Chains A and B, each alone.
Chain A
């Protein structure tokens, strides 16, 4: 269900670093398929190791950076927008099909008295309305057990960076907020969009994220910065290996 480290995200290399005084974090990333000049899906995986003494610390921001020439903005994803308020209140049904950009899973830790319980969460990423010309995202995080809750994470697609803001997620009164410990999110993939052809509404699969024609020496560098509510931060980086000769686009 949940990817931790690089499992299931080959080809990639996961690297863990601290930095900024925050807990150790691991980042993994992958393109599938991996063909130069072709459309692909991109998957990011993050894992945060909670400090043993203090327990998990809630995040308030994740920023993933990647090569500037990756075709996220030209992907054909997010042709409509979904209102974050409606998404939180109504759920997935509030969003047009053409606003969906990806899916994912996460694990959060919920403090229940002296014990900490893990909860698996489903992620659905949608394009959100934009007032500044940048592509905005609304990520629905929906958990069912032990706590039934839906939370909206917001994101913004900047050149070469995806910044996700995590709101405070309350648990029990007086208890620490819920903390994210791992997440795997995919942009693109098996999405169904619709277009009008004459009077017919025809389903199609959006093209996906465009890979450049050339792979940089050493592969595509991907990094992440995690900012925690206690003011500490962590960094992690990885790279996605260039395709081998037989997998390159002909």
Chain B
């Protein structure tokens, strides 16, 4: 399974001497977030530091229901931030598809909005590629913001969607 974590952090003062320490704290913080432990430590470090967490996740979503041009999908996400994802995927004939995404992990939730361009609409498995923007978060992801690249495949026979997300999550 794809699973890569990169993390970095920076202090407001950012003297050279503390840079290494900051990166180390950032890495620990990112791992704590990813593993959803040590919430207190994360809170303490958040007071002084902003974080950037490299995220690479893939979901395997199955069709739940549809309403007109909206398809609702749900399934597990694997990678940097494991959890479950619920997706509202809208395809109304415009090659630019949109989706609302709700991620539930052990450390909190993330709401995001994604747009992408669908290629090969007469294929059984058209792919899409675009951007993802986080709109809100709760728990450890409170205040998180990010823009990232989102791509995936839409299986038109089964209505399954396999989305992949890659980007940087900042706190």
Contact = CB atoms under 8 A, between A and B. Distances in A.
Contacts of B68: 67, 69-71, 74, 210-213
A69 B92 contact: yes
A79 B93 contact: no
A210 B122 contact: no
Contacts of B94: 134, 158-159
B160 to A, nearest CB: 12
Contacts of B66: 37, 71, 74, 210
B124 A133 contact: no
Contact of A70 (B69, B71, B122, B123): B69
Interface stretch (B44-52, B113-121, B131-139, B163-171): B113-121
Contacts of B69: 68-74, 210, 212
B156 interface: yes
Q: For chain B, which range describes its interface: under 10, 10 to 19, 20 to 34, or 35 or more residues?
A: 20 to 34
Contacts of A78: 121-122
A136 B70 CA distance: 21
Given A70-B69, A210-B66, A210-B67, A134 B93 contact: yes
A135 B93 contact: yes
Interface in B37-86: 65-71
A5 to B, nearest CB: 27
B143 interface: no
B122 A134 contact: no
Contacts of B121: 73, 78, 130, 133-135
A230 interface: no
B98 to A, nearest CB: 11
Given A135-B121, A211-B68, A76 B157 contact: yes
Given A99-B122, A133-B121, A73 B91 contact: yes
Contacts of B123: 79-80
B95 interface: yes
A127 B124 CA distance: 12
Q: Which of B66, B93, B159 has the most CB of A within 10 A?
A: B93
Contact of B156 (A70, A79, A81): A79
Contact of B122 (A67, A129, A212, A214): A129
Interface string B145-167: 00000000000110100000000
B93 A157 contact: yes
A210 B156 CA distance: 13
A72 B156 contact: no
Interface string B89-122: 0011111000000000000000000000111111
Given A70-B69, A71-B69, A210-B68, A81 B93 contact: no
A158 B69 CA distance: 13
Contacts of A37: 65-67
Nearest to B128: A133
B95 A134 contact: yes
Given A69-B92, A73-B91, A133 B117 contact: yes
22 contacts: A37-B65, A69-B68, A69-B69, A69-B70, A71-B70, A72-B92, A74-B66, A74-B69, A74-B71, A74-B156, A76-B159, A81-B122, A129-B122, A130-B120, A133-B118, A134-B94, A135-B121, A210-B66, A210-B67, A211-B68, A212-B67, A212-B69
Interface of A: 37, 67-74, 76, 78-81, 98-99, 127-130, 132-136, 157-160, 195, 210-214
Given A69-B92, A133-B95, A134-B93, 4 more contacts: A71-B66, A80-B123, A132-B95, A159-B93
